[in-house]
Chain A
Amino acid sequence: MKRALIKYAKRGEAALLSHRETMRSLERALRRSGLPLVFTSGYNPRPRMSFSPALPLGIQAEAEYLEVSFDGETDLEAAMQVMNSALPKGLSIIDIQELTASMPKLSKWTRYGLYRVPGDVGEVFLLLALAGGKQARLKDALASLWQRLGLPIGSELRGISRVGLYASDEEVFEDAGDSVYFFDGELGELEVLTNSV
């Protein structure tokens, strides 16, 4: 059994599809792709798939992930093309690659999420832990951020996108420039992380 990692974006109005609806759309596109999928057993078999942590409704994304199992030889590039012709507007596959056996599972390395938040004075980056002790909800993090920036709480979600998922908070600077706001879910506090390298 082989594994493939699929990287996809969720842009524009596709942000209005729930996590469940997004999963369904991707599953259907996968079924059409010709990829020899491996199915779960049981009363209601489904393709063996795992997804990166759910994205809240209304948030766009540049780099979400989906891991699937398959059997046999296959042309991943061609499968990606079919999938891209079979997705609702706004959902698109950016990359597909085969994983080696030693590469960690999706859930092991999607522990931090980086969000780009547009604002009047330019965009800011917000980081939060999606698992572990410091785990936080985006809603709470945004409330804290808006307060810090002097915006009314509950300012709109439009335009926010999750731009990356990471195993540790040190990797984020590749995508976020030199400083990000980090919301610590345990303390309920917003702090500023700067690139020390």
Chain B
Amino acid sequence: MGIDVFLEYELLGVSHPGRYLGTEVNARNKPFSEASVRWALIYPDVYEIGMSNLGLSILYEIINDTTEAMADRAYLPWVDMQERLLECGVPLFGLESRRPLASFDILGITLQHELTYTNVVRILDLAGIPLLARERDEVCPLVIGGGPGAFNPEPIAELFDFLVLGDGEEAVLEITDAVRNWKQEKTLDRSDFLRQCASIPGIYVPSLYKFAYRADGTIDSITAEAGAPNPVKKRLLSDLDGWLYPRRPVVPLIEAVHDRVSVELFRGCTRGCRFCQAGMIYRPVRERDGRLLANWARELVANTGCDELSLTSLNSADYTSILSLSEELAMEMESRHVAVSVPSLRTDSFSVQLASRLRRVKQTGLTLAPEAGSARMRASINKGVSEEDLMRAVAAAYGEGWRKLKLYFMIGLPSEGEEDVEEIWRVVRRIMREGDSGAPAKGLKLSVSISTFVPKPHTPLQWAAQMTPPEIARRHFILKEGLRMKGVTLRWHSREMSYLEGIISRGDRRLLPAVISASRQGCLDGWGEFFSWRRWEEALATEGLNPAWYAERERPFDEILPWDHLHCGVERDYLWEEYRKAGEGESTPDCRIRDCTFCGACPGKGASA
């Protein structure tokens, strides 16, 4: 059955058919047949999540702006649509061109989260493309990956012909050129072409690297084939001002999870929270020019008709001229009834004042993330926030009229005791008791969100043990008992999901068969109802893999980690020193405020080692 006929007959029978139309405002719809290099940019989750991803919308426009290339989009269809595709024998297709994914030159898949890896397998299966890179022949598309997951892609690395580490803006153009030449000249076979790609900065070709293991299961060596870089260094765009993208983002047909346009104020963060992967892999901080940002924001609102503009980054209150920029935009946007929002704020009264000034058009919620309840734990993760900062921020928010606040805490941190968890409910109770500058905060409602610490590659805590689900369950119980009070709601992440995230996050190539078999047995981990820890346990056991060995084991310094051949800029020795300081509760100041900490991320500056 042809794809057009399929859509005509089947779309009415599936939920949210708007997900599959590809007829959005600002969809570029470049002719497939005329392009010499055809990209399909893929977010391995449903449309409404994928459409909110900034990275892919940047690359979509950059590629479509080049004359000879085109970029289409694809997402993982919801299960009802997957069933229809399989039943009708129709392969997964690009939304705009309605061509099978298998007919594209490049499938670019973003890896935003470990729990989407089973979705990646499902996408390739639905597209009818051989899963393993080594099984694909000349007519198969190149399957490439990017995003934060590319910094430890090993559990699914062999699905990819190559991955791009770091900023993708320039890399996609170089890849486009390389592929065009390869297709025209037809002199290199696929494996030689991949060898050639390995010389493009930031490109990691998994097939050129071999892992050897020891009897105890640890890695003995990671060897790169001659000519392949070791380590692979990430791509770094030092000047973002030349790359103001997206300009005309595709406007989702159905409501997206983040239903707004965004300008990215800066990339990177140097606050140095020791659990945070984004805070390490996107270093150094690169700010954009305020004038350019303001004009860009106007253009985005005009080009989409969106009613919310987000000034985004990892920590927007840290943008040098955040006050003047946000003030200017908020005033101007107020007349057009466009709300301006600043996500990811710090826990201090400055941030609250900032959020309050922007709250002209729409009543938005306020989220504070102290991350840990006890001063000891906050010192350990280098979250430079005191309990008094938090109390002041709450009082400021209350004073500005907020009555509903969201608080984020993380549990399961290394060396955390039950008394540290009890501190969370003590702080929450204190807020309820004296949230209004010392007086009980009347009418205040707190939504307390608890996440579980998952050690992530390229962070100071990458060596740490992850807490077991039963231990986390006991902590959830402590919180539940301690927070039985009016006005407080408590929610937490699934323990098993966090555990699986931890296994995959620090996993190696031996996990791949389990990922494939879990996916083929119906696990789509990010989709709550299709997550099954029981199936995962079986899949891991079948492959002889011990989940605890991956998640619960503290690694020694000299153990080779599965991502030691991939370099994000921040030096391993620096991370280890930070790990030691975490144990001691020593702080590391932000290098944008104090001196350089020699983490290694800035080109031309040294590292501590």
Contacts and interface: CB of A to CB of B under 8 A. Distances in A.
B305 A29 contact: yes
B12 A88 contact: no
Interface residues of A, number: 31
B306 A44 contact: no
A68 to B, nearest CB: 13
Interface of A: 13-14, 16-18, 20-21, 24-25, 27-32, 37, 39, 43-45, 47, 57-58, 86-90, 156-158
Contacts, number: 75
B257 interface: no
Given A28-B25, A39-B337, A21 B253 contact: yes
A21 B304 contact: no
A32 B302 CA distance: 6
The 5 A-B pairs with the shortest beta carbon distances in the complex, nearest first, are: A28-B305, A89-B23, A43-B363, A16-B17, A31-B305
B304 A28 contact: yes
20 contacts: A13-B7, A13-B23, A14-B23, A17-B18, A21-B253, A21-B255, A25-B25, A27-B305, A29-B25, A29-B305, A31-B305, A31-B336, A31-B337, A32-B302, A32-B303, A39-B337, A44-B362, A89-B23, A156-B12, A158-B9
A86 B25 contact: yes
Interface of B: 7-9, 11-12, 16-18, 21, 23-25, 251, 253-255, 302-307, 336-337, 361-363
A24 B255 contact: yes
User: Which of B24, B255, B307 has the most chain A CB within a 10 Å cutoff?
Assistant: B307
Contacts of A20: 255
Contact of A32 (B254, B255, B305, B337): B305
Nearest to B11: A16
A44 B305 contact: no
Contacts of A157: 12
Nearest to B255: A24
B581 to A, nearest CB: 45
A28 B251 CA distance: 9
Contacts of A88: 21, 23-25, 251, 253
Nearest to B363: A43
Given A17-B18, A31-B307, A45 B361 contact: yes
A57 B12 contact: yes
Contacts of A156: 12
Contacts of A24: 255
A44 B363 contact: yes
A189 to B, nearest CB: 27
Contacts of B12: 16, 57-58, 156-158
Contact of B253 (A17, A32, A47, A57): A17
